[in-house]
């Protein structure tokens, strides 16, 4: 029997997510909230897109959106678009609201 090959891992996969950041508001100290929120985004994407943490690329616009009101006042949730490419790289962009 030939080995099974999965077609879903050989092509691009694009999904939209709403990532809750409420836990990042209460878990870390006040001066670590924005950094913790970025790590929460990275962990969420790794879990749902089946990748590796070192393969996740976060768009600078998403970073600026989280840091927009400073280190202490992060948004409660963010809408993102995640794309996993054929080579395993995962790109996370801020989803535009229309």
* Two tokens, residue 7: 């077609």
pTM for this structure? Answer: 0.85
C-alpha dihedral, 54 to 60 to 62 to 65, nearest 10°:
140
The residues, any chain, with a CB within 8 Å of residue 93's CB and separated by 6 or more, are: 59, 61, 62, 80, 81, 82, 83
Q: Which residues, in sequence order, are bridge partners of residue 92?
A: 58, 82
Domain ranges of the chain: 14-94
C-alpha dihedral, 21 to 26 to 31 to 36, nearest 10°:
-40
Q: In the 8-state DSSP scheme, what is residue 41?
A: H
How many other CB atoms sit within 10 Å of the CB of residue 84? 23
pLDDT score recorded for residue 81: 97
pLDDT in tens, the chain (98 residues): 555 555 555 579 999 999 999 998 898 899 999 999 999 999 999 999 999 999 999 999 999 999 999 999 999 999 999 999 999 999 999 998 64
Q: In this structure, which CATH number among 3.10.440.10, 3.30.360.10, 3.40.50.300, 3.90.470.10 belongs to the domain 14-94? A: 3.10.440.10
């Amino acid at each position: 029997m030939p080995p099974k090959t999965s077609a879903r891992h050989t092509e691009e996969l694009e999904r939209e997510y709403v990532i809750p950041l409420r836990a990042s508001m209460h878990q870390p100290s006040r001066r670590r909230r924005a950094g913790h929120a970025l790590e929460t985004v990275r962990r969420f994407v790794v879990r749902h897109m089946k990748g590796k943490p070192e393969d996740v690329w976060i768009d600078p616009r998403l970073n600026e959106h989280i840091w927009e009101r400073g280190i202490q006042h992060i948004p409660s949730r963010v809408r993102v678009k995640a794309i996993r490419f054929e080579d395993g790289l995962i790109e996370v962009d801020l989803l535009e609201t229309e």
